[in-house]
Structures are given as C-alpha cells and as structure tokens.
Amino acid sequence: RGQSAGNEFEGAAMRALSRASTAAAAPSWLLRRCVSSFGAALMPAGAEAAVAADTAGEDQELVSSLLRAGTDEQPQPVSAPRARRRRDAVRLDDRTGRFPVVGAPMGELTAFLKERGLRPGHATALFTALHRDGVEAADALEMLPPQARAVVADSCDLSEPEAVMDSVSADGTRKWLFRVGQDDSEVETVFIPESDGRGVLCVSSSVGCALSCRFCHTGTQRLRRNLRPGEIVGQLQAARRLLGRFPGPTPTKSGPDGGAVTNVVFMGQGEPLLNWRSVSAAAEVITASRGGVVPPRKVTISTSGVAPAMPRVATEAGCSLALSLHATTDEVRNKIIPLNRSWGLAQVMEGMRLYSLAQSPRPPSRRELRRREREEAAVLAGTAPGPAEPPVDAAGRPVGRRLVMFEYVMLAGVNDSLDDARRLAELARPFKCHVNLIPFNAWPGAPFQSSEDDHIRRFGAEVLGLGVSCSVRWPKGDDIMAACGQL
C-alpha cells in the first residue's frame, strides 16, 4: 500500500535498515513500514541479525529499541541533560514551499525575515500579532509596513488546522477533530474546563501512534506520521479562536462559550518524545513571553517511558514532565506498554531522576531571585536553618526538586492491588511528585475494565498513607469519547 509519509530514519537506524533489507531479501520501504506501524514483531526473518551486524561499535540495544519503537530520532543512553540548542535554522514546508509561521520559534522567524530584508522588530511584531492577537491573514498585519506585509503574504503560511467536527460533553468538555496538513490527516484535541477557572487543552503530537499501549484507543491505530510544529501549535491557535479568546465575535456554537486556555498538556494522540524535534519547537512557541499564552510551568509533556529523552523536557523545553507509569513491575508493564521492553522500569526511573535534577534553559524570574535572596538572608541571620541534605533514591543517588507527575490508569485485576499501591509509593516517594490515578475509560473492543470507584479510593488512600501526594482524575468528556485514553 505504499510507504507512510514522514517516517524517515536517520544515522545508524537508516544504515541498519538498509542492511536488513538485503539480508531479509525485502525492500527497505517494507521494513520501514513494518517497524513504524507494527514494531519488530513483523520484520522479515534475518532483519534483526542484520541490524546487530551493522551496529558494531554502537549501542546495539539502543538501535534495536529504536526499531521496535518506530521513531525517527535515534535514542541516546540515559545520561546527563544536554544544553539547549539554538533554533534559528530556516526550514520551509516541503509540501507548500512556504514558511510555516505558526510553529516557528522566534529565532527561526527572525532569521527567515532577515534573509528577506526585514528587521528583527518585524519578526517580533508578527509573532505577537499571531499568537497574542490571533491575526489570521497578512493584510490584517497593520503594525507592519507594506513591504513587510508583502513578504509575509508571498512567502509565509499563516494557516491553522480546520475543525471538521466539534463535540460538547454534558460536563462542558469540548473535543475537536482537526484536519492538518496537505494530506488531510486528522487528529483530535480536547479542551477541559475546570471548576477553579483553569482551562486545560490536550493536544496531539502525531497522527496515530507507534506504541500500541493496550489500554489506549489511539494504540489501536497505526502511526501515519508525526505532526510538525505548526500543526501542534495550530491546535492551540484554532482552539483559542473557537473558544472566542481572540478579538472579534465568538463563534456561534451550541454549548459553552468562551473559556480560556491556561494549561497545555501533550497527552493526546502520539508519544511526544518520539517526535521531540516538533514537540520542543511547539513548546518553545507556546511558552514564549511575547506570545503571552501559557507559561512553561503550565505546559506538561507526557511520555510512556522514552528514558533517554526525558531530561530534555527540562533542559530544552523547560516544561513539566508526566510519566505514564501504569504498572509497578516490568512483568506487567511489558504486557500493557510494549515500549517497556526497550526501556525498563529501572531506566525509566533513572530518566525521571535526571529530569528532576535538570536545569531549565530559562533564567530564573525576578520573583524566584527575590525568594532566594530572602532565604539566604534568613539563613545568615540565624532565623532559618541552612539548606537540607538533598533527597536520595533507593540506591542513594541524589534526586532533584523539580516537580514530576506520575499517571496511573486503574485496570481491574491487572495493576490495582494494594501491593501495587505500596510499590507505586516506593517508586514515587524519592521525588517531589504527584500521582494521578485514572479510572480506565472504556472504548469499543477494549480488553480491560476499570477498577471500582471504592477500590480506587482505597488504592489512593494507601498511596497517601505512605507519604506520596495522590488524587483521582475522574473522567471528563467520556460521553463524547474525549476522556483519557479514548482519542
């Protein structure tokens, strides 16, 4: 049926696939399709041996795990975080030949406009108009001179995803089906209004998913392609417009009007850390101060356990990290999250530890600096104790104080025993963390059932009793298939 677009392999993975193609007497496009859509289980005979033979001098397990995961970016060993890289390389959309402004970080946008004779101030004005004011067309950029507007009109793409379906739940949750890109791919995005005034937008990072987690509806779909930065940021832009958060009339729609997006979570379709290049660029745009949309601490990136990339959520994006843990032993986790066969619990928890120690790429705010000065003055004056010894994990290794989140779906008879609760508390206790217990949300053909509500409360009480912050994330939007795990 042809090769799925957007699933290109690089470096050792590409060479390994080439050798595997020869050894297995199968075309390389077939191997790429098997790997990206189904994992190594359907690779032709001889491919694994060819992969091992081709990776002499490289970490064979990491290359093999890359193939099993079906990612387009080679995982690195779990190690100390890397410094944030500059994002100023100009990349045109190879499908339209235009510059995708919606997903372009400031450095990239400035470099693009500079090549066309415009000043950095023009880039700042365009970025602000697009993300703060919701400008949709070049002729509406009245803050730019005619020459700059002409450049934007001729060479820039300001388009957003098209909402082809808009569903409203009885509890106010809203789900959109967005059409993205030139290939008419579709993804779902969910807006969850909270009673305390917050509005959480759950965005997708890929069309389909390669991980095949057994409790997740998205896992039943093959990965078609990863989303580009503009297609991720575009979900936020389109959602804010549909919620009436930009100047102009609120769109007519039965159901709740308005509602501000105060938090963004990368918990929709796809594994964000297997599309890190796009996700990190999108996070940089969403959290940019000139856009004035969402601060970094209110953006959460979720992962099923891509251990090597976990510290980069802090060092490159400066955002919060949520780990979809869902099991406390490798035996159970291997069954419900196939990715665990690539990076087991020990590696995943090490990735979480390195994330907790990592430093954000952004300098501390004035409020944070004042807080530190007050604490230092109190210590010097003798009115406060000195800094406490840093916490350590079970192996005695230091653990940082960056907040981490653990997500745990409650599957009846699978991972919901009180022994599981004790093991969960043991894993989470070293961290400054919060555990979200998630009742399983059913979908057609699902192989699991949710634990009873009373049992979930007992499970949570056990975790709380062992000194770990814990709460239940009760379903929202399940009547329109918008709850966690139903997209």
Name the domain boundary from 157, 192, 207.
Answer: 157
How far apart (Å, rounded) are the C-alpha atoms in residues 38 and 293? 37
The reply to whether 196 and 236 lie within a common domain is: yes
**Amino acid residing at 187:** V
Is 484 catalytic? The answer is yes
pLDDT in tens, 458-471: 999 999 999 999 99
Task: Say whether both 329 and 476 belong to one domain.
Answer: yes
Which pairing describes strands 185-193 and 199-202: parallel, antiparallel, or unpaired?
Answer: antiparallel
What CATH number does the domain containing 279 carry? Answer: 3.20.20.70
Tell me the residue range of the domain where 247 lies. 163-370+390-480
Give the model's pLDDT for residue 22.
45
Instruction: State the average pLDDT over residues 51-79.
Output: 43
Amino acid 95: pLDDT: 67
Domain match, 314 and 432 both = yes
- Let me know: does 450 contact 474? Beta carbons within 8 Å: no
pLDDT digits (tens, 9 = 90+) for 395-443: 666 777 788 999 999 999 999 999 999 999 999 999 999 999 999 999 9
Domain at 124, CATH number = 1.10.150.530
Do 344 and 460 lie in a common domain? yes
39: in domain: yes
Q: Mark whether 327 and 191 lie in a shared domain.
A: yes
77-99 per-position pLDDT tens digit: 555 444 444 445 556 766 667 89
Taking only the tens place, the pLDDT of each residue in 195-238 is 888 899 999 999 999 999 999 999 998 899 999 999 999 999 99
**Confidence bin at 136 (pLDDT 50/70/90):** confident
Strand partners, 404: 321, 433
The catalytic position among 73, 188, 271, 316 is: 188
Do 113 and 206 lie in one domain? The reply is: no
- The domain total for the chain is 3
Say if residue 270 is in the same domain as residue 333: yes
Helix axes 120-131, 106-115, angle to 10 degrees: 130
Residue 50 sits in the same domain as residue 116 = no
Residues 204, 303 within the same domain: yes
- 376 within a domain of the structure (yes/no): no
pLDDT exceeds 70 at position 255:
no
DSSP code of residue 450: B
Q: Are residues 313 and 429 in the same domain?
A: yes
- Which residue, 119, 140, 157, sits at the end of a domain? 157
In a shared domain, residues 19 and 139: no
pTM of the complete model = 0.77
Query: What's the pLDDT score for residue 400?
Result: 72
The answer on 167 and 153 residing in a single domain is no
Pair of tokens at residue 204: 């997708």
> Is 475 contained in some domain?
yes
Q: What is the pLDDT of residue 132?
A: 85
Residue 28, in any domain of the structure = yes
Residue 2 lies in a domain: no
> Which residue would you say has higher pLDDT here, 378 or 42?
378
Q: Which two tokens stand for residue 153?
A: 């009109």
Active site residue 10: no
Q: What is the pLDDT of residue 389?
A: 61
- Note the pLDDT tens digit of each residue in 1-14: 333 333 333 344 54
State the average pLDDT over residues 342-361: 90
pLDDT above 70 covers what percent of the chain?
73
pLDDT tens, position by position, 278-336: 999 999 999 987 776 788 889 999 999 999 999 999 999 999 999 999 999 999 999 99
Residue 239 lies in a domain: yes
Residue at 486 is within a domain: no
Structural domain contains residue 300 = yes
